[in-house]
């Protein structure tokens, strides 16, 4: 099948446009690009039916102010506007779901050779695993129990790259989930691409931007205007496991709100009530 590309430009206020794009997949396969920008997010899904028709969904910016996003309609567009008093993370019950989930353990690799300069690949791998585990163990400070059957397994280092040629999710047949660090766009922190068939996920790759941003594994130590890997990883793995965005304005305390609000902080590492409810709902709990 000839490779085609479908693109959408998500405009972040006062910044350049960022394109989230995906390669049209083989029949029976869908792919979703979730692009996390400094002040918002963008998303694009294409699904190729078994008879070769291509459908596009989630086409646009997730820079939303006061409503919860849903996985079945076009996201509304507009600037980020936080509510003056958004609910606390243990009070807010908002969540939204993507169109896939895992029926097996999500096993993944880290391309350790891409570790940002000055950091230990061991510490970076641990931060990525901690962020992933935040989702599967619904790590939270709200006293909510881990009763979610979703599981993850870090398989170690690989020389395989993520199937991402930023900002495009490529076609893939390797079914290896890989996280790496590479260049992207000056406004983009990270991107996740998730492939599924019949609503069952089988690969999810992630790329963190080390060209335009500086990173630290956790928020411990001197910040130096760095972004926290395990906090961004928790947000990205939320997408991997099928949880979508909620609005920044009214739900900005949740991990799955559309923006990571500033370097040095790792609020997103700890799930809020809505985040936990979303993971539970996605896995039938």
- Residue by residue, DSSP assigns 18-39 as EEEEEE--STT-EEEEEEEETT
| pLDDT number for residue 15 | 39
| pLDDT number for residue 18 | 53
| pLDDT number for residue 14 | 33
| pLDDT number for residue 3 | 45
| pLDDT number for residue 73 | 28
Go through the domains of the chain in sequence order and give each one's CATH number. Answer: 5-71+87-282 (3.40.390.10)
The tokens of 259 are what? 């923006």
Report how far Cα 68 is from the mean position of its chain's Cα atoms.
Answer: 17
d(CA 256, CA 248): 9
Q: Using an 8 Å Cβ cutoff, are 35 and 42 in contact? A: yes
On the 0-12 / 13-18 / 19+ scale of CB atoms within 10 A, 58 is buried
Q: Name the 3-class secondary structure at 236.
A: helix
Q: Using an 8 Å Cβ cutoff, are 201 and 100 in contact? A: yes
Q: What is the DSSP string of 99-139?
A: S-B-SS-EEEEE-GGGPPTTS-HHHHHHHHHHHHHHHHTT-
Nearest to 100 by CA among 66, 61, 128, 71: 71
Taking only the tens of pLDDT, the chain with its 285 residues reads 444 555 443 333 333 445 578 888 999 999 999 999 888 888 999 999 999 999 887 665 654 444 443 333 223 222 333 444 568 999 999 999 999 999 999 999 999 999 999 999 999 999 999 999 999 999 999 999 999 999 999 999 999 999 998 878 998 878 999 999 998 788 899 999 999 999 999 999 999 999 999 999 999 988 999 999 999 999 999 999 999 999 888 899 999 999 887 889 899 999 999 999 999 999 999
The tokens of 110 are what? 């880290």
| pLDDT number for residue 173 | 79
d(CA 162, CA 149): 26
| pLDDT number for residue 86 | 64
Specify which residues 279 forms β-bridges with.
none
């Amino acid at each position: 099948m000839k490779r085609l590309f479908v693109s959408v430009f998500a405009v972040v206020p006062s910044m350049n446009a960022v394109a989230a794009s995906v390669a049209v997949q083989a029949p029976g396969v869908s792919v979703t690009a979730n692009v996390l920008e400094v002040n918002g997010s963008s998303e694009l899904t294409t699904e190729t039916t078994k008879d070769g028709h291509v459908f596009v969904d989630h086409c646009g910016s997730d820079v939303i102010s006061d409503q919860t996003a849903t996985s079945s309609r076009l996201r509304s567009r507009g600037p980020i506007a936080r509510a003056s008093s958004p609910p606390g993370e243990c009070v807010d019950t908002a969540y939204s779901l993507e169109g896939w989930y895992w029926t097996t353990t999500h096993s993944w690799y880290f391309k350790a050779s891409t570790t940002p300069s000055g950091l230990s690949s061991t510490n970076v791998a641990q931060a990525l695993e901690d962020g992933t585990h935040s989702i599967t163990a619904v790590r939270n400070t709200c006293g909510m129990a881990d009763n979610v059957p979703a599981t993850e397994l870090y398989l170690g280092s690989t020389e395989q790259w993520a199937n991402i040629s930023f900002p495009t999710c490529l076609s893939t047949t390797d079914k290896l989930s890989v996280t790496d660090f590479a260049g992207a766009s000056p406004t983009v922190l990270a991107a996740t691409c998730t492939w599924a068939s019949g609503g069952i996920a089988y690969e999810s790759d992630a790329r963190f931007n080390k060209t335009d941003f500086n990173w630290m594994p956790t928020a411990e130590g001197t910040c130096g205007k760095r972004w926290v890997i395990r906090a961004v990883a928790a947000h990205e793995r939320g997408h991997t496991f099928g949880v979508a965005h909620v609005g920044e304005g009214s739900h900005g305390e949740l991990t799955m709100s559309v923006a990571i609000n500033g370097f040095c902080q790792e609020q997103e590492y700890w799930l809020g009530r809505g985040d936990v409810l979303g993971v539970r709902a996605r896995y039938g709990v």
